[in-house]
Amino acid sequence: MGCSNSMHPEWLQISLQADPVLHDPLSSFLFDLGCTGVVSGDFADRTLRGYLPLDKDLEDIRTRIELYLQELKSIFPEAPLPALQLTLVADQPWELNWRRFFQPVRATPNLLILPAWIPLFKSDADTVIRMDPGPAFGTGKHPTTQMCLEAMERVPVRSPWNLLDVGTGSGILAIYGVRLGAEAALGLDINPEAIRWAERNIRLNDVSASIRLSLRPAEELRETFSLVCANLILGELLRLIPFFPGLMSSESWLILSGVLENQVREVNTSLVRHGLHVREILHREEWACVIAARRI
């Protein structure tokens, strides 16, 4: 770990070279630390970068990060300890600069994700979704998001149908569900900031009448859904799998992602234990997406 200086520094760039399975918890930690932006998925060396206004003690920041990395090691013992680099950088308009990392994405052959600040252009995609993700996860660029979107196209849900999106982030899965024909969608997230950005994206795509957002935990719901989607880290998926059958009817489908290929067996074992049958597994890079259904 090192720390470099630049002329008139006003920001701290926090770089963490980390296993992809750690990117979600690390991103949440960096935002809690006070970072105004976090960028991932754009660096070949799997680096996660956060930008923090330099208004705190540098040694205190470094200590807090190192303590959190040690906590993560106890939760993810199989993942190497992330390499930390702190760099002092001069003031820049980060809120605008980060946009260069988010360009139009063909998430599936049928779906184009278009940044909100780029004018709509002619495309052969069946569906175009406008997105301004802000700090929320879900630009359509990450393999787990793309596989969830593809899986939503594949599952043969019967009309009329509704959708539950657990960990909605930017709201992209809920929005696409409505575009695919869902009469109603419920997006859940424990992060109020994610809910705020999801609301913005829902308005951008004129689907406010069909989507509800809530901070309520999934395990407290007493509704059933035709399709349940959850793009979360392994620990959260394993915690929630026992509750998913209660949210599904005999004809419902379940889409799970956020897991690495070597974690699929553990997910499948838990699904079978709770009466869910794995129908298909999608793979992209080192990630996997599991499509399951009720076994009745």
For 205-225, what is each residue's pLDDT tens digit? Answer: 999 999 999 999 999 999 999
Between 3-7, 206-210, 232-236, the lowest mean confidence (pLDDT) is in: 3-7
Which strands, in side-by-side order, build the sheet including 105-108?
105-108, 111-115, 127-131
Intervals of CATH 3.30.70 along the chain = 3-99
Between 39-43, 102-106, 255-259, the lowest mean confidence (pLDDT) is in: 39-43
Three-state secondary structure along 9-50? EEEEEEEEECCHHHHHHHHHHHHHHCCCEEECCCCCCCEEEE
> Structure tokens of 57?
């003690």
Architecture in CATH for domain 3-99: 2-Layer Sandwich (3.30)
pLDDT level of residue 122 (50, 70, 90 thresholds): confident
Q: Give the whole-number percent of the chain exceeding pLDDT 90.
A: 49
- Does CATH place domain 102-294 in 3.40.50.150? yes
Q: pLDDT for 7-59, tens place per residue?
A: 445 788 899 988 888 887 888 888 888 887 777 654 446 788 888 887 777 88
- Average pLDDT over the chain reads 86
Which residue has tokens 């002619």? Answer: 122
Q: How far is CA 189 from CA 115, 167, 197, 218, 287, in A?
A: 22, 5, 11, 9, 22
CA distance 229 to 77: 27
> Structure tokens of 67?
């303590």
- In this predicted structure, the answer to whether residue 171 has a pLDDT above a threshold of 90 is yes
